[in-house]
Structures are given as C-alpha cells and as structure tokens.
Chain A
Amino acid sequence: MGWRARPGPRERASTNAPAAQGSLRSLATAALAPALQPGRWSRVLIFLLAVPVLAGIAAYGYQVANGLEVTGLNDDVFWGLYTVNLVTLIGLSYGGALVSAILRLTDANWRGPIVRIAEGTALVTLAVGALFPIIHLGRPDRMWEMFTRPQFDSPLLWDMVAILTYLLATLLLFGLPLLPDCADASQRSDVSGWRRRLYSWAAADWQDLPEQRRILRRSMTILAIVIIPVAIMVHTVLSYAFSLTSRPGWHSTIFGPYFVVAAIYSGVAVVILAAVAYRRAYRLQRWITDEAIRRLGYILVTLGVAYGYFMFTEITTEGYVGEEAADALLYVMMLDRYAPLFWTFVALGLAIPTLLVAFRRTRTTTGITVAAGLVVVSMWLKRFLLIVPPLTQPLFGDAIGGYSPSWVEWTITLGSVAAIPLLLILLFRVFPVLAVHEMQEIEADADARSGQPIVVTSVGGSP
C-alpha cells in the first residue's frame, strides 16, 4: 500500500505488530500536522486570504445597502458573475464528492489518502457556492418565501432543494469518517484544551467497537451510493434554470449531462490542487503519492475528453442547421466578441490539460498540477460563456446587449475565490487531513485479501 512507510515486498511479508503500529502512529501524526504544527506561513496565508474575503463581505454589504444597481447587470444581461460563480463553485464541490463516493464504491485502494481532502474541498466549495443564489437576489430579505410559499413548478425552487440536500449529504460524507479519527485524536498526548474537548465531542461515543465499525462502514457505503444521484440531480436541476427557458443557447437537451460532466471535471481538478498543496506543505508525499496524483490525472483527462465531446456535439447540432438565432450566438461566441474567451477555454481548458496528462514526459505531479490549475480557471470562463453570451442576443430586433461586471461584482467574486483556500486551511487546522481510520481499514483489508497474517491492533475486521 502506498501510504505505508514505503514497505518493500520483503518488508511487508514480515509485517509484525510493532512495525505496523509505528507506521500507523506516524500516519496519525502526519494527518494532524496541519492542525498541530501548522507552521508560521499558515498564519500568514490565513491573513493574506482574509483580506480579499473581508473585502468581498464589505462589497456585499455595499450591495445590500444600494441594491443591484451597483452591479453591471441590466435588463438584457440580468444574470452575470454571481450566476457564473454559483455554477462554478457548486460544480467544484462535485469533484470532491465524486472522488470520495465512486472510489469508495469501486473499492479503489488508492483512495485512502485522497478522500478526506476531497470531502473537505467539496464541503468548502459548496458552502461558498451556496451563498451566490442569495447574493444574486434583488430582495435577499425575502428569500424565506422559498420555504413559506414554494412553487414546485419552478426550477429555481428545486435548485434550492437540491443544493440543501447536497449540503447535508456532503456534511455527512465529511463528518461520519471523522468519528474514529476524532476519537483517536482526543486521546493524543499532544492534544489538550478546546481541541481535546472538540475532538471528544466530534467523536460522539466512538469506542471502536466492532459493531460501531460495521455501522460506520455500512453508512458510508449507503452515503456513497446516495450522494452520486444527489449530485447528478443538483447539477441537472441547476442546468434546468437555463435549459427550461426558450432562449437560444440555453434551451438544449444536453444541458443536464453537460453541467454534470463540467462539474466533475472542474471538481477533480480542484481536488488535485488541494491534495498537491497539502502534500507539499506538510510533506505528505509518503501518503499522498505520485501514483495517487497520476490516477487523479487520468480521471481528469477522461472527463476533459468527455466534456470536449459534449461541447462538440452541442455546437455541431446548434450550428449545422443554420437556424438564425443559434447561428448568431455561435458567431459572437466563436468568431466575434467572445472568441478570445472561447478559444482560450479550448486551449487552456481542454487541449493543454489533455496533452499534459497524455504525454509521459509531462505526466508528472507538476504537469498534472498545472493541468488541474488550468482546468479550474478555464471552467469558470466556460461557465461565463455559457451564461452571458446567450443573454446578449436579442429576442426581438437586432440590438445586442452588453455586460461589464462592476467592481462590486469583481470584489465579491475575488472574495469567494479566496474564501475557498481560507476555509480549507481553517478546516484542516482543526480536523485531520488524512482519513486515518479508513486508510488503516483499507490496509487491513488488503492484508486480509493477500492471505497474509492479519495484524489487527486498532483496525477493523474482515471485508
């Protein structure tokens, strides 16, 4: 197994209790490194990120006080950056949920060191993304009416239902596997004060009983099964806010799956970025191996190719027939006003990431990280292209609409971008960054399967 202290085959064959325990202890310590020895730069980074976040909050205050006239939105382009951010951020969160859920269901052994970071990323991006439906409202003071007088015909209402369900599922996905890890952490000699109290509280009543382990396992399997359709629903319903209108460029049958694939694509990319960052900052290479990053890179490129295929299908079906409105839209997007953005996306969001992962020479952790970074940024661009250009196209007459985001919109956007690493850092300054208990279980399962003597100290039973 990858995260064992680089055991050679011979070493593994002679695994004995003390050695195993030694490796396990150092795993638990490493998992808590960002929490217990965050380092000076962690504080600096928190400070640096807090500045744009506070600026964003202040800008939103300004918007609440003055209304949406402080944005660049208008009657033509009435949805802008906020909607782009909403779709992008909620999309990012899907990657975390997917990596965690699908790898669990397929029993992929290499998932161990990735899942906690993936779930944390999912939680944080969703928490920030879920703010944007509120930020974009003209009358946020009335948002409670979504609960008090809901209209079930409306895609927006189902957006809210889906996002809230997904938030709950993501919280559980992050929180449940923490139980044993928090129980372990609360017993540590280097943990005291509020931290110890928090860990004991978060551990609930975890005593590592076989029955508890069984329940946890089953719950995680059920949750992993449930969260996949839930996430698909979230992104499909999100796409319905666009595709259930009669606007050219939005009214498309492919929008549901298109949004789902876009979400996973960008989401896996952000998981790669987070994993690489933590691996580097806290020297977790021993657990988060090059191999794990490479596998995530394969997932990334598969989704990238799928997304490119969807895009090709969409554009070809829209453009070939020569329907006037569709043609006009494709023209501004591919050859005219939005062409620089469009071709930037094609190059940086599809072609280069694919090539970086495709060639052995660039299929390194650095290459894959660069690819992931490009994908995250480009997918924001793509969402912009998906939402704004169709709105600039007139429904009658020939007056083209325009939109240039105001400083308020940019400040809030930058604030939300900074909020994600900030919240992630804060999250893992509290909770272990590696899923210690789960990694131990995977290891025990693998040992059991390979017919070796099972050395169980604090590790779960048979598969």
Chain B
Amino acid sequence: MSGPALGTKPAAAAAGQLSRRQLLGAVGAAGVAAVLPPAVRRVRAAEDLDTAGGSKPRHRWVFVFDLRRCDGCGDCIGGCQKMHFLPESQEWIKVYEYTDATGGDYFMPVLCQLCDNAPCVHVCPVKATYHTDDGLVVIDQDICIGCRMCMAACPYGVRTFNWEAPPNVPEFLHSSTPEYRIPQVKGTVGKCDACVHELREGGLPGCIKACSMDAIYVGDLVEDAATNGRETVVLSQFLRDNDAFRLKEEAGTETRVYYIAGHGQDLDY
C-alpha cells in the first residue's frame, strides 16, 4: 500500500488551487443556477461564513509527530481510549508499521489530521461535523445520522463508527459537548477530538500523556509554540529545522498534523 506522501514545505499555501467550494460553485453556477437559484445562494452564503469568518481565531491547534522517537509501542492508543472511554476495538489514533526503501522499520501514528479543507465536513449531509472556532473538526453526535459518508471521504481513515454501545461510564464523568462527548453515542461516527477540553484548561491530550517516548507534540500556530509535556519548542522553527511534512499533501486537505521523518533512532536533544 502507498505510504505517506512526503509533502514539500509544511506551510505550502494553496495559492492557485481550486477549492471544493469554488468548484461546486462554478459547476453550480454553470449548470444548476438556472434551475435552482436558492440552492446556489445557500452554497455561496456558506462559503462567506467559512472564509470571511470575522475575528481571528484564538488558537490554531497543531500536532507534531517526531518519528525519530516513535518506537511503535502503542501506548498513545491506550491513553486515548482511557481519556474517551472507548471500547478496545475503537482506535482514534492508529499506529501503522512501515518498512522504508532501505529495509528499516518505522512507525506512523495517525490521528485526525485537523484538515483546514476537510472532506468529511463537505460530505456530511446534515452538518453534523464541522469546524470549531479554533479550527478543529468535531462531530455533534446528537445530530449525526450515521450514514458513514464522512468515513468514505476521509483520506486518512481516522473516523470510526460506534457499532456497539460504549462501555459504561459513571454519570459524573458524562459530557455532552461536541468537543468532548462522553460516553460515545451508539450509531454515530466518532474520531479524535484533539482533547481540546484538556488544551483549553492547559492540559495535554491523552495520547501525549501516555507517550513514554515524548514523540508527540501539541502546539498552537497562533502562539507559535508546541510541547510534548517535557519540553517546549518554537513551533515554526521546529518544523523548519526538522523538515516536517504532512500526510497526503496531494489530497489538498491542508492538514495541521506534521511529521518529522525518522525510524525510532534514540535521539537526545
């Protein structure tokens, strides 16, 4: 299977690219406008909301995976499942093993890639999945109809379905916001929520807390800082110095999860 595509510069802008909405808008204007002007107006109105969203976001969350440190132990998976009371079968962060061209092994942890141009958001027929103010893609499980179109659209396969009822969670731990839904709602789609409920309180995501290799950083583009819980780095410089890349640049998703290539070397900063 195809491995992760090595992108060019992490911050490569999408200048000159055609966005999905522009495409739909153009096709719509050409073909549908004559028949369905109200629908086209709705699409345009939605676009205005998206792009000209007014005030600057307070945060733009980012994850960085330092693959030089990742040894594929999978502790992050357990930490995430504990944080979100997920059944064992449901992994919001997955760890894939790869063999590179020289025969060396490396590991590729994949969680929600926080796409700025998220295919899942576009295909949801009922707007159950959407961007929050700080750019996270969240799912409102009180709205999701469970059609699984978003699972088809996600190029990273990070979305999971709540086939079974979630494990029992004591009442006082319940949370019903789209950002942090405990327990999960059966018959709806779930995925990594970036533990934004922790981030907003100054805490760390479950996967980072559980990572004994300090390989996962969470950061904020607005503040230009990132931390793995042990050390804090200047985000932009950290990405630049280490030639960070993003997954499947060709998908045009403008993700905000960065990877630093490597294969489990023992690094000492």
Contact = CB atoms under 8 A, between A and B. Distances in A.
Interface of A: 67-69, 73-75, 78-79, 133, 136-140, 142-143, 145-146, 149-157, 160, 241-242, 244-247, 250, 324-325, 328, 393-398
A140 B46 CA distance: 26
B145 A138 contact: yes
Interface string B171-191: 000000000000000111100
Interface residues of B, number: 52
B163 A150 contact: no
Contacts of A325: 1-2
Nearest to A247: B152
Given A139-B188, A247-B152, A149 B126 contact: yes
Contacts of A74: 163
Contact of B147 (A136, A245, A397): A136
Q: Lowest 9 A-B CB distances belong to which pairs?
A: A138-B146, A397-B96, A138-B187, A395-B157, A154-B125, A157-B125, A156-B125, A145-B126, A69-B163
Nearest to B247: A396
B143 interface: yes
Nearest to A68: B163
Interface string B36-68: 000100110010000000000000000000000
Interface of B: 1-4, 20-21, 24, 39, 42-43, 46, 90, 94, 96-98, 108, 110, 119, 122-128, 143-149, 151-153, 155-157, 159-165, 186-189, 248, 251
B124 to A, nearest CB: 6
B1 A75 contact: no
Contact of B94 (A69, A154, A242, A396): A396
A385 to B, nearest CB: 17
Contacts of A137: 145-147, 187
A151 B157 contact: no
Nearest to A79: B148
A152 B126 contact: no
Given A138-B161, A156-B149, 6 more contacts: A136-B147, A137-B146, A138-B148, A246-B155, A393-B1, A396-B110
A interface, over-half SS? loop
B150 to A, nearest CB: 9
A304 to B, nearest CB: 29
B98 A68 contact: no
A136 to B, nearest CB: 7
A412 B153 CA distance: 27
Given A325-B1, A394-B1, A156 B147 contact: yes
